[in-house]
A and B are shown apart, each in its own frame.
Chain A
Amino acid sequence: MRHTSLISVYLTLLIALLCQLFPWVGQGIIFRPDFMLVILLYWLLRAPNLCSVGTAWLAGLLVDLATGSLLGQHALSFTITAFVALSYQRRLVLFNGWQLAGYVFALLIIERFVILLLKLFAGNENPGWHYFLPIIAGLLLWQFMILMFGGLTRPKTN
């Protein structure tokens, strides 16, 4: 486990909220990644002692408030995703980059699926396949986070 400061966690989450608030227009809105979730997952997997399911819930609630959607739906989906992420967190040391990306891909799918289920229960129509496009953008953002802040484990040279 690498050392991380609490400030960097909350600062990046704030930046994620800012990106969430960014006025997306046109085609960008379809491809827009779920900033909050990807950055939250990064910190959850890297520093589970600093943030946990409760942080995920709070982040989800912030997203709900900021996006004006039904209060609690992102909180619920983030909580479930964070739980799944944490339950396999200790085995991630054995994963290489591609396996890790696959794991994050699965987590992002879970989150989208929970939201979709909630929306379908509320009587919305099936939004179509492009509803899942943000997952790809989310993976790109994940790779960007790895580039910026380094991998989950200490580099092997140390």
Chain B
Amino acid sequence: MLKGVHQKLEAQQTPAFFVRGAKPFSRMVFFCALSITIMAVDARLNYLSQVRQAFIAALHPLEIVANTPGEWYRDINKYFSAHNQLVQENYALKQQAFEHQVKLQRLNTIQAENEHLRSLLNGNMPIQPKAVLGEISHMGRDPFTHVVVVNRGSHHSIKAGQAVVDSNGVIGQVTRVYPFTSEVTLITDKELSIPIQIERNQMRAIAFGEGNNTLDIPYLPTNVDIKVGDKLVTSGIDGVYPAGLAVATVTKIQQNPESPFAKIISTPVAGVSNHLQLLLLELSEPKEIDAPKAAPEASTESNKDNVNTNAKNKAKANAPH
């Protein structure tokens, strides 16, 4: 009774200081419900990617402003780099270029030979993927995901799904494209997996990101032929990553007697934290993947014949010598 009167009095005489519109609690409930709905929509349906893209595009000037101090710092550093250091770097680069040139000469002959052999077998040529050079503008801002942001976007005809490599190996895959930037998810991210092949014995497997700078190769039996130090390269069967790119080296093999599978942990070879430049490889056309699937039965016979005749021709050509 008394309490009721008190409340009435308070309601009548509330000074402007206390007026706050709706109660914080009801507001909190409303906005919590709203954010949970948005989360569900964003996670399960893809309606909000357009909103996100538009917002990021609008935010681009702000991002440029945020990036300028770092760029100035880098430029000033470049400007003041010592003469001695430049000379040394120049020398080292020249040496490297020379070594690469020697290797390249061999590569050219080997490539020509490979093309010739493939034409003999009527196999289709491996596609040389085109690439766009990009630069890491910053690391992702979410500490739970392994993401870097690259300064190339849909304006530079980047598409989601493109493979990204640096001079040492595979870095990851483009997952989100904005007009001027794009997000590259690293192979160490939990959401990403990559089909690999062990360089030593050509065994195929799939490596999954662990979320802590390592890769895990699950579901392999304990007696599998993998050793510490084995190099993992892309197998190329997914159509995203071209075959033969370095991915990781095996660093640890644990055999748990309770589990039928070995725990194989490897560390990526690409240095994401050290390199600023990276290459975004163009996606191979879906046609080129579908074509061999479409008519395998029809062409096997004729293919075989071709191969045979080719081989015969070759034999004939070689015979007189």
Residues of chain A at the chain B interface (Cβ within 8 Å): 1, 17-26, 29-30, 48-49, 52-54, 56-57, 60-61, 65-73, 75-76, 79-80, 82-83, 86-87, 118-119, 122-125, 127, 131
User: Are B138 and A25 within 8 A (Cβ)?
Assistant: yes
Choose among B27, B48, B211, B273 the residue that contacts A53 (Cβ–Cβ < 8 A): B27
Closest 9 CB pairs of A and B: A23-B138, A72-B38, A72-B39, A83-B28, A67-B141, A71-B42, A75-B35, A76-B35, A53-B27
Pair B62/A21 contact, Cβ less than 8 Å: yes
Q: Are B38 and A71 in contact, with the CB atoms below 8 A? A: yes
Instruction: Report B-chain residues with C-beta under 8 Å of the C-beta of A68.
Output: 52, 56, 140-142, 147, 176, 183
A-B contacts counted at CB < 8 A amount to 127
Q: Is the CB of B176 within 8 A of A23?
A: no
Considering only CB atoms, which chain B residue lies closest to A29 in the complex? Answer: B139
Q: Establish whether residues A18 and B65, one from each chain, have CB atoms under 8 Å apart when the complex forms.
A: yes
In the complex where A65-B56, A71-B42, A80-B28 touch, is A24 in contact with B139 (Cβ < 8 A)? yes
Q: Are A79 and B28 in contact (CB under 8 A)?
A: yes
Q: Is the CB of B137 within 8 A of A71?
A: no
Q: Is A1 touching B17 in the complex (CB atoms < 8 A)?
A: yes
**B20 interfacial contact with A, CB 8 Å:** yes
Residue of B nearest to A124 (CB): B144
If A23-B70, A29-B143, A71-B39 touch, does A125 touch B190 (CB 8 Å cutoff)?
yes
List the B residue with the shortest CB-CB distance to A75.
B35
- The answer to whether A131 touches B143, judged by C-beta atoms less than 8 angstroms apart, is yes
List 17 A-B residue pairs with CB atoms under 8 Å apart, sorted by A's residue number.
A22-B67, A22-B69, A23-B139, A29-B141, A30-B143, A49-B20, A61-B35, A65-B55, A66-B141, A67-B141, A68-B56, A70-B43, A71-B48, A75-B35, A79-B32, A82-B28, A83-B27
- Shortest distance from the beta carbon of B192 to any chain A beta carbon, whole Å: 14
Q: B190 — which chain A residues lie within 8 A by C-beta? A: 123-125
Alpha-carbon gap, A124 to B146, bound state (A): 12
Assess the A87–B24 pair: CB atoms within 8 A: yes
Nearest CB in chain B: distance from A11 CB, A: 13
Interface centre among A19, A67, A123 (most CB of B within 10 A): A67
CA–CA, A51 and B289, complex, Å: 56
Q: Is B102 an interface residue (CB 8 A)?
A: no
CB pair A17–B62 under 8 Å, yes or no, is yes
- Chain A residues closer than 8 Å to B67, beta-carbon distance: 22-23
CA distance A35 to B189 in the complex (A): 26
Decide if B87 is an interface residue (CB 8 Å cutoff): no
Contact of A75 among B17, B38, B56, B273 (CB under 8 A): B38
Residues of B within 8 A of A (CB): 17, 19-21, 24-25, 27-28, 31-32, 34-39, 41-43, 48, 51-52, 55-56, 59, 62-63, 65-67, 69-70, 137-145, 147, 176, 183, 190, 211-212, 273
Min C-beta distance of B177 to chain A, whole Å: 12
The residue among B34, B36, B66, B144 with the most chain A CB atoms within 10 A of its own CB is B144
Chain B: minimal CB distance from A54 (Å) = 6
Instruction: Please pick, from A54, A56, A65, A127, the residue contacting B144 in the complex, using a CB distance under 8 A.
Output: A127
The residue of chain B having its C-beta at the shortest distance from the C-beta of A63 within the complex is B141
Task: Output the nearest chain B residue to A83 by Cβ-Cβ distance.
Answer: B28
**B66 with A18: CB separation less than 8 A:** yes
Known interface pairs A21-B66, A57-B35, A79-B31. Does A70 touch B42 (Cβ–Cβ under 8 Å)?
A: yes
- List residues of chain B with CB within 8 A of the CB of A82: 24, 28
Q: How far does the alpha carbon of A82 sit from the alpha carbon of B20 in the complex, in Å? A: 14
Beta-carbon nearest neighbor of A22 in chain B: B66
The answer to whether A23 touches B137 (Cβ under 8 A) is yes
Q: Are A24 and B141 interface neighbours, CB within 8 A?
A: yes
Residues in A whose Cβ lies below 8 Å from that of B35: 57, 60-61, 72-73, 75-76, 79
Cβ–Cβ < 8 Å partners of B145 in chain A: 69
A75 adjacent to B31 (CB under 8 Å)? yes
Report the minimal beta-carbon distance from A55 to chain B, rounded to whole angstroms: 10
Which of chain B's residues have a CB closer than 8 A to the CB of A21? Answer: 59, 62-63, 66
- Docked-complex contact B20 and A48, CB < 8 angstroms: yes
| 4 further interface pairs, Cβ-Cβ under 8 Å (given A23-B137, A69-B145, A83-B24) | A65-B55, A67-B140, A73-B39, A127-B144
- Complex-state Cα separation, A113 to B273, whole angstroms: 28
Closest Cβ of chain B to A60, distance in Å, is 7
